[in-house]
Amino acid sequence: MQTRNLLASFTFGITLAAIPVLQSYAQEAVPNSYQFQGNNLSITYDTTSFTGEPRFNYRDRKQTLNFAGDEIRTVDTEIGTLVTVTIKKTVDTGNTTFTLLIPRVNLGNNNEVKVETKGITTTNRFSVIPQFNQEQKQTYTTINLKGTAQAVAF
């Protein structure tokens, strides 16, 4: 009787091993181009380009700025990828940066999907007078952004 159970278990195991494993249809398709708008702000971010460098375009009511390569800083975090550029530089009072929060996106079978995210403008305070470099040195303004994420062939 034990031989029959062992033989049945062995046969069942061989049968399971012979079943072909189906490929997952949930293959992840990651976008490389993002476009966002919100509150008089327009952002375009491409993770790569024809030159292989990332590109970041920032446009608000006062200015249009274009960034490439090392001017764009990225950090992967648990909440998404933080993409930062410096939008205002001063010699003696600090600078202003803009950070775009890129959420994880799977395009699936689509070439483009809608995305909502946040943009964060950070004012970094600095003074050449040491007494003025006390207390909070950074302030933040957030903006809601809506747009698209897509896969583009460069």
The token pair at 19 is 């079943």
Banded model confidence at residue 154, pLDDT cuts 50, 70, 90 = confident
The token pair at 71 is 């001017």
Q: Which residue has the tokens 């702000």?
A: 41
Determine the average pLDDT of the residues in 90-115: 93
DSSP one-letter string for 23-44: PPS-------EEEEEETTEEEE
Residue 92, pLDDT score: 74
Q: Is the pLDDT of residue 113 over 90?
A: yes
Is residue 151 classed as helix, strand or coil in its secondary structure?
Answer: coil
Mean pLDDT, the chain, rounded, equals 86
Q: What percent of the chain is predicted at pLDDT more than 70?
A: 82
Per-residue pLDDT of 130-139, as tens digits, reads 776 778 889 9
The pTM is what? 0.79
Determine the average pLDDT of the residues in 31-45: 97
DSSP one-letter string for 59-84: E-SS-EEEEEGGGSEEEEETTEEEEE
Is residue 43 classed as helix, strand or coil in its secondary structure?
Answer: strand
